[in-house]
Amino acid sequence: MNTELGIVVAGVSTIYGRAVVRWAAAEAHARHAELRLVTAQPAAAVPDRYLPNDVATAHRAAAVRLLADLAGEMATGWPGVIVTTDLATGPPAAVLRAAAEEADLLVVGADDASPFTEAISGSVPGDLLTTSPCPLAVVPRREWTASTALPASAPVVVALDESTISHAALAYGYAAAARTGRPLTVVRCVTAGSFDQAAATAQARLLIAFGELYPDVAVSTEVEPGDPRHVLVAASRRAALLVLGSRGRGRLASSLFGSVSRDLIRRSGCPVVIARTQPAPVALCS
Protein backbone atom coordinates (compact mmCIF):
# COMPACT_ATOMS: atom_id res chain seq x y z
CA MET A 1 0.00 0.00 0.00
CA ASN A 2 1.13 3.53 -0.75
CA THR A 3 2.08 4.87 2.69
CA GLU A 4 2.66 8.43 1.48
CA LEU A 5 -0.74 8.96 -0.11
CA GLY A 6 -3.80 6.82 0.51
CA ILE A 7 -5.87 5.49 -2.37
CA VAL A 8 -9.64 5.36 -2.79
CA VAL A 9 -10.70 3.21 -5.74
CA ALA A 10 -14.11 3.85 -7.31
CA GLY A 11 -15.72 1.37 -9.67
CA VAL A 12 -17.11 3.28 -12.65
CA SER A 13 -20.19 2.04 -14.49
CA THR A 14 -22.85 3.71 -16.60
CA ILE A 15 -25.42 1.78 -14.54
CA TYR A 16 -24.57 3.49 -11.26
CA GLY A 17 -24.30 7.08 -12.54
CA ARG A 18 -22.20 9.71 -10.84
CA ALA A 19 -23.38 9.23 -7.24
CA VAL A 20 -20.80 6.52 -6.56
CA VAL A 21 -17.90 8.54 -7.95
CA ARG A 22 -18.95 11.70 -6.13
CA TRP A 23 -19.16 9.84 -2.83
CA ALA A 24 -15.71 8.35 -3.45
CA ALA A 25 -14.31 11.79 -4.32
CA ALA A 26 -15.62 13.22 -1.05
CA GLU A 27 -13.99 10.33 0.81
CA ALA A 28 -10.68 10.87 -0.99
CA HIS A 29 -10.82 14.57 -0.16
CA ALA A 30 -11.50 13.89 3.53
CA ARG A 31 -8.66 11.35 3.65
CA HIS A 32 -6.21 13.49 1.60
CA ALA A 33 -6.02 10.48 -0.68
CA GLU A 34 -5.71 9.79 -4.40
CA LEU A 35 -8.95 8.99 -6.20
CA ARG A 36 -8.53 6.19 -8.71
CA LEU A 37 -11.40 5.68 -11.16
CA VAL A 38 -11.49 2.13 -12.51
CA THR A 39 -13.75 0.56 -15.09
CA ALA A 40 -13.72 -2.87 -16.69
CA GLN A 41 -14.23 -3.80 -20.30
CA PRO A 42 -15.26 -7.45 -20.44
CA ALA A 43 -13.35 -9.68 -22.82
CA ALA A 44 -15.29 -10.34 -26.00
CA ALA A 45 -17.64 -13.31 -25.85
CA VAL A 46 -17.20 -15.93 -28.57
CA PRO A 47 -20.02 -14.57 -30.82
CA ASP A 48 -18.70 -11.01 -30.45
CA ARG A 49 -15.29 -11.97 -31.74
CA TYR A 50 -16.73 -12.12 -35.21
CA LEU A 51 -17.95 -8.51 -35.09
CA PRO A 52 -15.93 -5.80 -36.85
CA ASN A 53 -13.01 -4.48 -34.86
CA ASP A 54 -14.44 -0.99 -34.93
CA VAL A 55 -17.28 -2.11 -32.58
CA ALA A 56 -14.84 -3.07 -29.82
CA THR A 57 -12.82 0.07 -30.53
CA ALA A 58 -15.94 2.21 -30.17
CA HIS A 59 -16.83 0.59 -26.84
CA ARG A 60 -13.34 1.21 -25.51
CA ALA A 61 -13.35 4.81 -26.74
CA ALA A 62 -16.67 5.40 -24.95
CA ALA A 63 -15.23 4.01 -21.72
CA VAL A 64 -12.16 6.23 -22.05
CA ARG A 65 -14.38 9.29 -22.59
CA LEU A 66 -16.49 8.42 -19.56
CA LEU A 67 -13.42 8.11 -17.34
CA ALA A 68 -11.95 11.37 -18.63
CA ASP A 69 -15.26 13.18 -18.12
CA LEU A 70 -15.62 11.94 -14.55
CA ALA A 71 -11.98 12.65 -13.73
CA GLY A 72 -12.35 16.24 -14.88
CA GLU A 73 -15.58 16.71 -12.93
CA MET A 74 -14.14 15.27 -9.72
CA ALA A 75 -10.93 17.30 -9.98
CA THR A 76 -13.02 20.46 -10.36
CA GLY A 77 -15.43 19.58 -7.59
CA TRP A 78 -12.75 18.54 -5.10
CA PRO A 79 -9.67 20.71 -5.75
CA GLY A 80 -6.45 19.21 -4.51
CA VAL A 81 -7.55 15.60 -4.99
CA ILE A 82 -5.30 13.71 -7.37
CA VAL A 83 -7.55 11.82 -9.81
CA THR A 84 -6.24 8.95 -11.96
CA THR A 85 -8.04 6.54 -14.26
CA ASP A 86 -7.64 2.93 -15.29
CA LEU A 87 -9.44 0.92 -17.98
CA ALA A 88 -8.80 -2.81 -17.70
CA THR A 89 -10.09 -5.86 -19.54
CA GLY A 90 -11.77 -8.60 -17.56
CA PRO A 91 -14.77 -9.37 -15.35
CA PRO A 92 -15.70 -6.25 -13.32
CA ALA A 93 -15.36 -7.90 -9.90
CA ALA A 94 -11.93 -9.31 -10.77
CA VAL A 95 -10.73 -5.97 -12.18
CA LEU A 96 -11.88 -4.06 -9.09
CA ARG A 97 -10.44 -6.67 -6.73
CA ALA A 98 -7.04 -6.32 -8.39
CA ALA A 99 -7.25 -2.52 -8.30
CA ALA A 100 -8.06 -2.61 -4.58
CA GLU A 101 -4.96 -4.59 -3.63
CA GLU A 102 -3.10 -1.39 -2.73
CA ALA A 103 -6.16 0.70 -1.80
CA ASP A 104 -7.51 1.92 1.52
CA LEU A 105 -11.12 1.77 0.33
CA LEU A 106 -13.02 0.30 -2.63
CA VAL A 107 -16.28 2.06 -3.57
CA VAL A 108 -18.94 0.47 -5.79
CA GLY A 109 -22.62 0.97 -6.49
CA ALA A 110 -25.34 -1.30 -5.16
CA ASP A 111 -27.34 -3.39 -7.59
CA ASP A 112 -30.87 -4.70 -7.47
CA ALA A 113 -30.08 -8.40 -7.74
CA SER A 114 -32.43 -10.54 -5.67
CA PRO A 115 -30.89 -13.26 -3.47
CA PHE A 116 -32.03 -15.89 -5.98
CA THR A 117 -30.67 -14.00 -9.00
CA GLU A 118 -27.37 -13.36 -7.22
CA ALA A 119 -27.03 -17.04 -6.36
CA ILE A 120 -27.47 -17.98 -10.02
CA SER A 121 -25.77 -15.20 -11.98
CA GLY A 122 -23.77 -13.29 -9.41
CA SER A 123 -23.48 -9.66 -8.36
CA VAL A 124 -20.41 -7.41 -8.45
CA PRO A 125 -20.91 -5.89 -4.97
CA GLY A 126 -22.08 -9.30 -3.70
CA ASP A 127 -18.89 -10.93 -4.98
CA LEU A 128 -16.65 -8.19 -3.57
CA LEU A 129 -18.42 -8.39 -0.20
CA THR A 130 -16.37 -11.45 0.73
CA THR A 131 -13.34 -11.03 -1.54
CA SER A 132 -12.34 -7.35 -1.45
CA PRO A 133 -8.79 -7.00 -0.07
CA CYS A 134 -9.69 -3.72 1.67
CA PRO A 135 -12.82 -2.18 3.23
CA LEU A 136 -15.69 -2.05 0.74
CA ALA A 137 -18.19 0.82 0.48
CA VAL A 138 -21.47 0.17 -1.35
CA VAL A 139 -23.42 3.28 -2.35
CA PRO A 140 -27.18 2.81 -2.85
CA ARG A 141 -28.77 3.58 -6.20
CA ARG A 142 -32.06 4.84 -4.78
CA GLU A 143 -33.57 6.46 -1.68
CA TRP A 144 -30.38 8.17 -0.62
CA THR A 145 -29.56 11.78 0.07
CA ALA A 146 -25.97 12.87 -0.49
CA SER A 147 -24.07 13.24 2.79
CA THR A 148 -23.51 16.95 2.13
CA ALA A 149 -27.29 17.47 2.25
CA LEU A 150 -27.81 15.48 5.46
CA PRO A 151 -28.17 17.27 8.81
CA ALA A 152 -25.02 17.43 10.93
CA SER A 153 -26.80 15.24 13.47
CA ALA A 154 -27.02 12.29 11.04
CA PRO A 155 -24.67 9.78 12.64
CA VAL A 156 -22.16 7.22 11.52
CA VAL A 157 -23.78 3.96 12.67
CA VAL A 158 -21.68 0.94 13.62
CA ALA A 159 -23.48 -2.37 13.95
CA LEU A 160 -22.18 -4.84 16.53
CA ASP A 161 -23.06 -8.43 17.18
CA GLU A 162 -21.38 -11.06 19.32
CA SER A 163 -18.68 -12.06 16.85
CA THR A 164 -15.01 -11.14 16.62
CA ILE A 165 -15.58 -8.74 13.68
CA SER A 166 -16.60 -5.82 15.90
CA HIS A 167 -13.05 -4.52 16.22
CA ALA A 168 -12.70 -3.70 12.51
CA ALA A 169 -16.16 -2.12 12.30
CA LEU A 170 -15.54 0.05 15.36
CA ALA A 171 -12.13 1.16 14.13
CA TYR A 172 -13.58 2.23 10.79
CA GLY A 173 -16.63 3.88 12.36
CA TYR A 174 -14.66 5.95 14.86
CA ALA A 175 -12.25 7.11 12.15
CA ALA A 176 -15.13 8.04 9.82
CA ALA A 177 -16.91 9.99 12.56
CA ALA A 178 -13.69 11.84 13.40
CA ARG A 179 -13.06 12.74 9.73
CA THR A 180 -16.57 14.05 9.16
CA GLY A 181 -17.31 15.58 12.55
CA ARG A 182 -20.44 13.46 12.85
CA PRO A 183 -21.64 11.67 16.00
CA LEU A 184 -21.21 7.92 16.26
CA THR A 185 -24.07 5.58 17.17
CA VAL A 186 -23.16 2.03 18.15
CA VAL A 187 -26.07 -0.35 17.62
CA ARG A 188 -25.81 -3.73 19.31
CA CYS A 189 -28.21 -6.19 17.68
CA VAL A 190 -29.53 -8.85 20.04
CA THR A 191 -31.76 -11.66 18.84
CA ALA A 192 -33.97 -13.68 21.17
CA GLY A 193 -31.93 -15.86 23.49
CA SER A 194 -28.58 -14.68 22.11
CA PHE A 195 -27.46 -12.21 24.77
CA ASP A 196 -23.87 -12.94 25.78
CA GLN A 197 -22.75 -11.04 28.89
CA ALA A 198 -19.07 -11.81 28.32
CA ALA A 199 -19.28 -10.44 24.76
CA ALA A 200 -21.13 -7.36 25.98
CA THR A 201 -18.45 -6.71 28.58
CA ALA A 202 -15.64 -7.13 26.04
CA GLN A 203 -17.34 -4.74 23.65
CA ALA A 204 -17.86 -2.19 26.42
CA ARG A 205 -14.13 -2.30 27.15
CA LEU A 206 -13.40 -1.89 23.44
CA LEU A 207 -15.61 1.20 23.32
CA ILE A 208 -13.67 2.69 26.21
CA ALA A 209 -10.40 2.05 24.39
CA PHE A 210 -11.60 3.67 21.17
CA GLY A 211 -13.07 6.55 23.16
CA GLU A 212 -9.61 7.32 24.49
CA LEU A 213 -8.21 7.31 20.93
CA TYR A 214 -11.02 9.58 19.66
CA PRO A 215 -12.01 11.81 22.59
CA ASP A 216 -13.76 14.36 20.35
CA VAL A 217 -16.22 11.86 18.86
CA ALA A 218 -19.66 12.01 20.48
CA VAL A 219 -20.82 8.43 21.03
CA SER A 220 -24.16 6.91 21.92
CA THR A 221 -25.05 3.23 22.22
CA GLU A 222 -28.29 1.38 21.53
CA VAL A 223 -29.27 -2.22 22.24
CA GLU A 224 -31.87 -3.32 19.70
CA PRO A 225 -33.75 -6.63 19.90
CA GLY A 226 -35.12 -8.27 16.78
CA ASP A 227 -33.94 -9.31 13.34
CA PRO A 228 -30.70 -7.41 12.58
CA ARG A 229 -31.85 -6.92 8.98
CA HIS A 230 -34.89 -4.90 10.00
CA VAL A 231 -33.08 -3.08 12.81
CA LEU A 232 -30.22 -1.94 10.61
CA VAL A 233 -32.32 -1.02 7.58
CA ALA A 234 -34.31 1.26 9.90
CA ALA A 235 -31.07 2.70 11.32
CA SER A 236 -29.76 3.37 7.80
CA ARG A 237 -32.70 5.69 7.09
CA ARG A 238 -31.39 8.21 9.62
CA ALA A 239 -27.64 7.64 9.15
CA ALA A 240 -24.92 9.19 7.00
CA LEU A 241 -23.03 5.89 6.93
CA LEU A 242 -23.57 2.34 8.15
CA VAL A 243 -20.51 0.27 9.08
CA LEU A 244 -20.57 -3.52 9.34
CA GLY A 245 -18.16 -6.38 9.66
CA SER A 246 -18.22 -9.50 7.49
CA ARG A 247 -17.96 -13.17 8.36
CA GLY A 248 -16.57 -13.86 4.90
CA ARG A 249 -18.92 -16.62 3.76
CA GLY A 250 -18.95 -17.63 0.11
CA ARG A 251 -21.38 -16.08 -2.40
CA LEU A 252 -23.78 -18.99 -2.77
CA ALA A 253 -23.88 -19.90 0.93
CA SER A 254 -24.45 -16.30 1.99
CA SER A 255 -27.28 -15.86 -0.51
CA LEU A 256 -29.07 -19.01 0.60
CA PHE A 257 -28.65 -18.44 4.33
CA GLY A 258 -29.53 -14.78 4.33
CA SER A 259 -26.34 -12.89 5.12
CA VAL A 260 -27.20 -9.67 6.93
CA SER A 261 -24.53 -7.81 4.98
CA ARG A 262 -25.89 -8.92 1.62
CA ASP A 263 -29.39 -7.89 2.57
CA LEU A 264 -28.25 -4.46 3.72
CA ILE A 265 -26.28 -3.57 0.61
CA ARG A 266 -29.54 -4.03 -1.32
CA ARG A 267 -31.88 -2.24 1.08
CA SER A 268 -29.83 0.33 2.99
CA GLY A 269 -30.89 3.95 2.93
CA CYS A 270 -27.28 5.17 3.14
CA PRO A 271 -23.84 3.99 1.99
CA VAL A 272 -22.67 0.80 3.71
CA VAL A 273 -19.05 -0.01 4.54
CA ILE A 274 -18.02 -3.62 5.04
CA ALA A 275 -14.96 -3.41 7.26
CA ARG A 276 -13.33 -6.77 6.60
CA THR A 277 -9.70 -5.78 7.08
CA GLN A 278 -8.64 -6.16 10.69
CA PRO A 279 -6.76 -3.09 12.00
CA ALA A 280 -3.89 -3.18 14.46
CA PRO A 281 -4.99 -4.33 17.93
CA VAL A 282 -6.17 -1.72 20.41
CA ALA A 283 -5.10 -2.20 23.98
CA LEU A 284 -8.12 -2.76 26.20
CA CYS A 285 -8.50 -1.09 29.56
CA SER A 286 -8.02 -3.50 32.37
56: containing domain? 7-109
In our burial notation (b when 16+ CB lie closer than 10 A, e otherwise), range 171-190 reads: bbbbbbbbebebbbbbbbbb
Q: Tell me which of 62, 82, 109 is where a domain ends.
A: 109
pLDDT score of 140? 87
Q: Domain total for the chain?
A: 2
| 195 falls within a domain | yes
pLDDT score of 203? 80
Verify that 86 and 155 share a domain, yes or no. Answer: no
Mean per-residue pLDDT over the chain, rounded: 80
Residue 103 reports pLDDT greater than 80: yes
Residue 7 reports pLDDT greater than 90: yes
Which residue would you say has higher pLDDT here, 43 or 18?
Answer: 18
Strand order in the sheet with 156-160: 83-89, 34-41, 7-11, 105-109, 136-139, 272-274, 241-244, 156-160, 184-190, 219-225
| Cβ contact 273:134 at 8 Å | no
Which residue would you say has higher pLDDT here, 190 or 30?
Answer: 30
| 280 falls within a domain | no
pLDDT band (50, 70, 90) for residue 141: confident
HSE-CB of 122 using CA atoms within 13 angstroms:
9
| 31 falls within a domain | yes
- To the question of pTM greater than 0.85 for the whole model, the response is no
Q: Tell me which of 90, 109, 128 is where a domain ends.
A: 109
The enclosing domain of 103 has a CATH number of: 3.40.50.620
Write down the H helix ranges in 36-190: 53-77, 92-99, 115-121, 124-131, 166-180
| Three-state DSSP class for residue 57 | helix
Which residue would you say has higher pLDDT here, 119 or 274?
Answer: 274
pLDDT score of 209? 92
**Mean pLDDT across 246-256:** 44
Q: Please tell me the distance from the alpha carbon of residue 158 to that of residue 188, in angstroms, as a whole number.
A: 8
